[in-house]
Amino acid sequence: MYHTFTRVFTERQTTALVAEADARRPEATPVAVPQARLHGDHAIPASRFRRAGTGPALDAVVTTVVKRVVRDDLGLSFGLGLIPVRTAYNYYDPGDHLGVHLDAPECRYTVLVPLSPQIEPLEVYPALAGAGARELHHRIITGTLGPPVRVPAPYGGLVVVQGSVMPHARPPATHPCRVATVCFG
């Protein structure tokens, strides 16, 4: 499952998230993996971007707006069981990317909040949903993933994907961009 929602946040909320993302950027740590590799039963994607921790502006919308969208608008009835387990800001300079991967098993729903107007769509691979890490890695290194579905990532909206089941990737950025990521378990 993957879904795009437009106009989720008010202009004021988006402005606050952008300001917080920019404030966190100096303390972001680089993530750099030159080649996809298999580590035990975990497929590590090729990647290059920077990541920083969450802040009060993001935490505030996660526990209200984002949670409501995931729970109510998607028709999910997890109630109080749906909790954010990982939250971060990711920064992509031109050429930065995050290769095809699955999120950690506890990430039942991964929410991406684009915080830049010019951002590439998220690429998902529905035909490979449920594939294990080993099969996914094999397909990556043999170039047999097949074509992705490109899911729009609108500024002011969000994208929800079943992160631990649906292989997904962020293709090389064409413009500098920021994305908030929230993983619900």
Tell me how many helices (H) and strands (E) the chain has. Answer: 4, 13
Give yes or no for a contact between 98 and 47, defined as CB atoms under 8 angstroms apart.
Answer: yes
In the shown chain, the binding pattern of residues 120 to 159 toward Fe ion, with x for contact by CB under 5 A and - for none, equals: ----------------------------------------
Choose between 16 and 159: whose C-beta lies nearer to Fe ion.
159
Q: Is 20 in the site for Fe ion (CB under 5 A)?
A: no
Strands 168-170, 122-124: parallel, antiparallel or unpaired by DSSP? antiparallel
Q: Residues 20, 96, 103, 123: which binds Fe ion (CB under 5 A)? A: 103
Phi-psi region of 35 (alpha: psi -120 to 50; beta: other; left: phi over 0): beta
Strands (E), 40-152: 42-44, 47-53, 84-92, 97-101, 109-114, 122-124, 149-151
Question: What's the closest the beta carbon of residue 118 comes to Fe ion, in angstroms?
Answer: 21
The stretch among 12-20, 51-59, 98-106, 146-154 that binds Fe ion (CB under 5 A) is 98-106
| DSSP class of 7 | S
Question: What's the closest the beta carbon of residue 47 comes to Fe ion, in angstroms?
Answer: 10
**Total number of residues that touch Fe ion (CB under 5 A):** 1
Question: What's the closest the beta carbon of residue 11 comes to Fe ion, in angstroms?
Answer: 27
- Residues near Fe ion (CB under 5 A) are 103
